[in-house]
A and B are shown apart, each in its own frame.
Chain A
Amino acid sequence: MKKLLILLLTLLLPLHAFGQEDGDTLETVVVEDAPEKPPLDYPSAFSTVLELDNFMGEYNTASEILSFSPGVVVRDYGGFGQLKTISIRGSSNDQVVILLDGVRLNSPVGGGVDLSTIPVHYVERYEVLRGGASALVGSDAIGGVVNIVTKDTTKPFTFASATYGSYETFSINASRAQKVGDFSYLVSFTHSQSKGNFNFKSVNNLTLTRINNEFHSESLLGKVTYDPGNGWKVSLLNEFFYDDRGVPGLGEFQQPDANQKDLRNLTSINISKEKFINKDFDLDILLFNRFDDLKFKNQEPTFGLPIDTHSKTYSFGINPTLRWFAPYNQVFTFAVDAREDMLINEDYDNPKRFTLGLFAGDEINLFDGLLLINPVVRYDVWNTRHETTDTDSGVSARLGVIVTPFDFLSFKANAGRSYRAPSFGELFYPNEGFIRGNPNLKPETSYDFDVGLLLSHPKAALEVTYFRSHVKDLILFVFISAVTIEPRNVGDVNEQGIEASLALKPFDFFELFAGYTFLDGEIDETGAQLPGRPRNKFDLRAVLDFDYVSLFWETNYVDRIPVSAFPSSKTTPARTVYNTGAKAEWKKLFFTFEIKNLFNNLDVRDALDFPLPGRTYYATSGVNF
Chain B
Amino acid sequence: MKTLLSILLVVAGCFSLAACEESGGGGGFVPTGDILAVSAIPGSNVTIEVGGLAGSVPPGSTIEVTNLDTGETKTSSGQGDESFPPVTFTGDTDDEFNVLVTDGGTIVDDIVIGVTLLSDSVQQNLHSIGQFPTAIRIRGNRAYVVNGGSNNIQIFDLNQNPPSQAGTIVVPPGSNPFDIAFLDNTRAYVPNYAGQSVAVVNVQTRVCEVLIVEAGHSGDTQPCLAVQVIAGNPFEEPASITIAEGKAFVSNNNFDPTFNPAGNGFITVLNTANNLLVTIIEASGANTGSMLLFEGGLYAVNGGATIFDPGTGTFTCNTNFPPSIDLINIQTNTVIDTIDIPLSPQNPLICLLNSLAATSDGFGYMGLGLVGSLLKVDLISGDVINGTGNPIVITDTTGLNNTSPVAIRDNLLFTTLFNSDQIAVLDTNNDELNPFPYMAPFPAGIRAFDPDANLFDGVQTLAIRPGIPGVDFQGPDIFFITGLSTQLGSVDTTLGLE
Contacts and interface: CB of A to CB of B under 8 A. Distances in A.
A478 B485 CA distance: 11
Interface in A423-449: 431-433, 436
Given A433-B313, A488-B454, A566-B484, A526 B152 contact: no
Interface string A480-497: 111110001111000000
A564 interface: yes
Contacts of B455: 476, 478, 490, 523, 525-526, 565-566
A201 B149 CA distance: 15
A566 B457 contact: yes
A449 to B, nearest CB: 27
Contacts of B151: 202, 204, 252
B482 to A, nearest CB: 8
A490 B486 CA distance: 20
B400 A203 contact: no
A307 interface: no
Contacts of A484: 313, 400
A391 interface: no
Contact of B308 (A433, A490, A525): A433
A599 interface: no
Interface in A292-326: 305
A569 interface: yes
Interface in B310-342: 310-313, 315
B249 interface: no
A479 B125 contact: no
A387 to B, nearest CB: 14
Contacts of B311: 431
A203 B419 contact: no
Contacts of B310: 305, 431-433
A566 B402 CA distance: 21
B238 to A, nearest CB: 18
A389 interface: no
A208 interface: yes
Interface string B123-142: 00100101100000000000
Q: Report the interface size class on chain B.
A: 35 or more
Interface in B396-419: 399-402, 418-419
B486 A570 contact: yes
A300 to B, nearest CB: 10
Contact of B149 (A253, A481, A488, A566): A253
Give the secondary structure class of B's interface.
Answer: loop
Interface in B88-135: 125, 128, 130-131
B273 interface: no
B487 interface: yes
Interface string B467-489: 00000000000000001111100
Interface string A456-500: 000000000000000000001011111110001111000000000
Contact of A204 (B152, B315, B399, B450): B152
A252 B313 contact: no
Contacts of A208: 173
A1 to B, nearest CB: 46
B441 interface: no
Given A204-B170, A206-B170, A525-B453, A568 B125 contact: yes
B223 interface: yes
Contacts of A254: 174
B456 A203 contact: no
Contact of A479 (B130, B150, B168, B458): B458
Given A204-B170, A208-B173, A431-B313, A525 B150 contact: no
A479 B152 contact: no
Contacts of B484: 479, 564, 566
Among A481, A566, A569, the one with the most B-chain Cβ atoms within 10 Å of its Cβ is: A566
B150 A481 contact: no
A481 B400 contact: yes
Nearest to B147: A203
Interface string B361-400: 0000000000000000000000000000000000000011
A37 B207 CA distance: 64
A35 interface: no
Given A431-B312, A432-B310, A252 B457 contact: no
Contacts of A566: 446, 455, 457, 484-487
A567 B446 CA distance: 10
A120 to B, nearest CB: 35
Given A252-B151, A433-B313, A483-B400, 11 more contacts: A202-B151, A203-B152, A204-B150, A204-B223, A431-B310, A431-B311, A432-B313, A476-B455, A481-B399, A484-B313, A566-B455
- Nearest 10 Cβ contacts at the A-B interface: A566-B485, A431-B313, A481-B400, A568-B125, A204-B170, A490-B454, A488-B454, A482-B418, A433-B308, A570-B128
